[in-house]
Chain A
Amino acid sequence: MNASHSSFLSRLVLALRAAWRMLVDHEFASSVARLEQGESVPTGSSGAGQPKPTLRDTLPESALQLLALLQQEGRFVDFLEENVTTYSDAEIGGAARVVHEGCRKVIRDHLQIAPVRDEAEGIRLTLPAGFDATAVRLTGNVVGQPPFTGTLMHRGWRVTEIKLPKLAEGHNVQVLAPAEVEL
Chain B
Amino acid sequence: MSEARFAIGIDLGTTHCVLAAVDLQASDLDEVVDWIEMIPQLTAPGAVEERPLLPSFLYLPHPDELRAEDRTLPWGEQPPFVVGELARNMGSRTPIRLVASAKSWLCHPGVDRRAAILPVEAPEEVQRVSPLQASMRYLEHLRTAWNLRHPDALMAEQDVVLTVPASFDPAARELTAEAAAAVGLGNHLVLLEEPQAALYHWILATRGQWRKQVRLGDIILVIDLGGGTTDLSLIAVTERDGSLELVRVAVGDHILLGGDNMDLALAHAVRAKLAGQGTQLDPWQLQGLTHGCRSAKEILLSDASVEAVPVVVPSRGSRLIGGTLRTELTRDEVARILIEGFFPAVEASARPATRARAALTKLGLPYAQDAAMPRHLAAFLGRQVEATRNLAGFENRLPENASFLHPTAVLFNGGVFKAHSLLDRTLGLLNNWLTAEGAPPARLLEGADLDLAVARGAAYYGYVRRGRGVRIRGGTAKSYYVGVESAMPAVPGMEPPIQGLCIAPFGMEEGTQAELPPQEVGLVVGEPVRFRFFGSSVRRVDQVGTVLEQWAPEELEELEEIEANLPAEDRQPGEVVPVRLHAAVTEVGTLRLEAVSRTGTETWKVEFDVRGEN
Give the interface of A toward B (CB within 8 A).
65, 68-69, 72, 75, 78-79, 81-82, 84, 87, 90-92, 94-95, 97-99, 101, 163, 165-171, 178, 180
Can you name 18 A-B residue pairings with CB atoms under 8 Å? A72-B44, A78-B319, A78-B320, A79-B320, A81-B318, A82-B321, A84-B321, A91-B321, A92-B321, A94-B326, A98-B314, A163-B49, A165-B43, A165-B47, A168-B70, A171-B46, A178-B45, A180-B316
Interchain CB contact under 8 A, A169 and B69: yes
Q: Is the interface of B mostly helix, strand, loop or mixed?
A: mixed
Partner among B72, B74, B320 whose Cβ is within 8 Å of the Cβ of A169? B72
From residue 278 to 336 of chain B, which have CB atoms closer than 8 A to chain A?
A: 295, 310, 312, 314, 316, 318-322, 324-326
Interchain CB contact under 8 A, A167 and B321: no
Kindly list 14 other residue pairs between chains A and B, CB separation below 8 angstroms, not including A84-B321, A90-B326, A91-B322. Answer: A72-B44, A82-B318, A82-B319, A82-B320, A91-B324, A94-B312, A94-B321, A94-B325, A94-B326, A98-B320, A101-B295, A168-B47, A170-B46, A171-B47
Interchain CB contact under 8 A, A168 and B314: no
Interface size class of B (residues with CB under 8 A): 20 to 34
Complex contacts, A178 vs chain B, CB 8 Å: 45
Complex contacts, B116 vs chain A, CB 8 Å: none
- Cβ of B4 < 8 Å from any Cβ of A? no
Residue of A84, A97, A166 contacting most chain B CB atoms (<10 Å): A166
Interchain CB contact under 8 A, B48 and A165: yes
Residue on B nearest A83 in the bound complex, by CB: B321
In Å, the complex CA distance between A91 and B314 comes to 12
- Cβ of B93 < 8 Å from any Cβ of A? yes
Complex contacts, A166 vs chain B, CB 8 Å: 40, 47-49, 74
Complex contacts, B47 vs chain A, CB 8 Å: 65, 165-168, 171
* Contact A168-B48, Cβ < 8 Å, known A87-B322, A95-B324: yes
Q: Mark B6-49, 1 if CB is under 8 A from A, else 0.
A: 00000000000000000000000000000000001001111111
Give the interface of B toward A (CB within 8 A).
40, 43-50, 67, 69-72, 74, 93, 295, 310, 312, 314, 316, 318-322, 324-326
Interchain CB contact under 8 A, A97 and B48: no
* Contact A171-B45, Cβ < 8 Å, known A78-B319, A92-B321: yes
Residue on A nearest B310 in the bound complex, by CB: A97
Interchain CB contact under 8 A, A75 and B320: yes
Residue on B nearest A169 in the bound complex, by CB: B69
Complex contacts, A65 vs chain B, CB 8 Å: 47
In Å, the complex CA distance between A163 and B321 comes to 30
- Number of contacts between A and B (CB, 8 Å)? 81
In Å, the complex CA distance between A178 and B72 comes to 18
Complex contacts, A94 vs chain B, CB 8 Å: 310, 312, 321, 324-326
Minimum C-beta distance from B37 to chain A (A): 16
Interchain CB contact under 8 A, B318 and A171: no
Residue of B43, B45, B46, B322 contacting most chain A CB atoms (<10 Å): B46
Complex contacts, B316 vs chain A, CB 8 Å: 180
Interchain CB contact under 8 A, A168 and B321: no
In Å, the complex CA distance between A166 and B46 comes to 8
Minimum C-beta distance from B46 to chain A (A): 3
Minimum C-beta distance from B397 to chain A (A): 49
Minimum C-beta distance from A100 to chain B (A): 10
Partner among A68, A78, A167, A170 whose Cβ is within 8 Å of the Cβ of B318? A78
Complex contacts, B325 vs chain A, CB 8 Å: 94
Residue on B nearest A78 in the bound complex, by CB: B320
Minimum C-beta distance from A173 to chain B (A): 9
Complex contacts, A163 vs chain B, CB 8 Å: 49-50
Complex contacts, B314 vs chain A, CB 8 Å: 75, 95, 98
Interchain CB contact under 8 A, A95 and B312: yes
Complex contacts, A92 vs chain B, CB 8 Å: 321
Complex contacts, A84 vs chain B, CB 8 Å: 321
In Å, the complex CA distance between A165 and B93 comes to 22
In Å, the complex CA distance between A120 and B316 comes to 43
Interchain CB contact under 8 A, B69 and A170: yes
Minimum C-beta distance from B52 to chain A (A): 11
The 6 closest A-B pairs by CB, nearest first: A171-B46, A94-B326, A165-B47, A168-B72, A78-B320, A168-B46
Residue of B310, B321, B322 contacting most chain A CB atoms (<10 Å): B321
In Å, the complex CA distance between A170 and B48 comes to 14
Residue on A nearest B313 in the bound complex, by CB: A98
Residue on B nearest A173 in the bound complex, by CB: B46
Minimum C-beta distance from B293 to chain A (A): 13
Interchain CB contact under 8 A, B322 and A98: no
Complex contacts, B49 vs chain A, CB 8 Å: 163, 165-166
